[in-house]
Structure 1
């Protein structure tokens, strides 16, 4: 695999893990006056994990 792909996969997995930790620990996040709901982190966790595994699989071909 190219180094850029490896770095991207690692970055996506770190972002996914951060969202998963937020879900587990029930951390509150506010942007300005908007409270970010936990379901957004659930969606972001799934999307970033899927993108990481998809990129890794596509690059192995």
Structure 2
């Protein structure tokens, strides 16, 4: 595939999803950084267990 066609396809795919991806990133970052403070005791271990799948899901969403 030519480089120009790839660029057009990428721009088309991102044209309607930019705001959604930005919102998802902000929500994931807030969840990731605020979860240890909200959990209190044993927060680090619990946050690591919960945040792993959350970050994996966001990564999959960004890559697909």
C-alpha RMSD of matched pairs (Å): 2.6
Q: Which has the higher strand share?
A: 1
Q: CA, structure 1 residues 16+5, in 2 after alignment: closer, same or farther (shift >3 Å)?
A: same
Q: Does 1:46 align with 2:62?
A: no
- Dislocated runs of 4+, deviation >3 Å: none
Bigger radius of gyration: 2
Q: Which has the higher helix share?
A: 2
**Paired positions, count:** 47
Give the unaligned 5+ runs of structure 2: 1-13
Pairwise CA distance, 1:51: 1.4
Give the unaligned 5+ runs of structure 1: 30-35
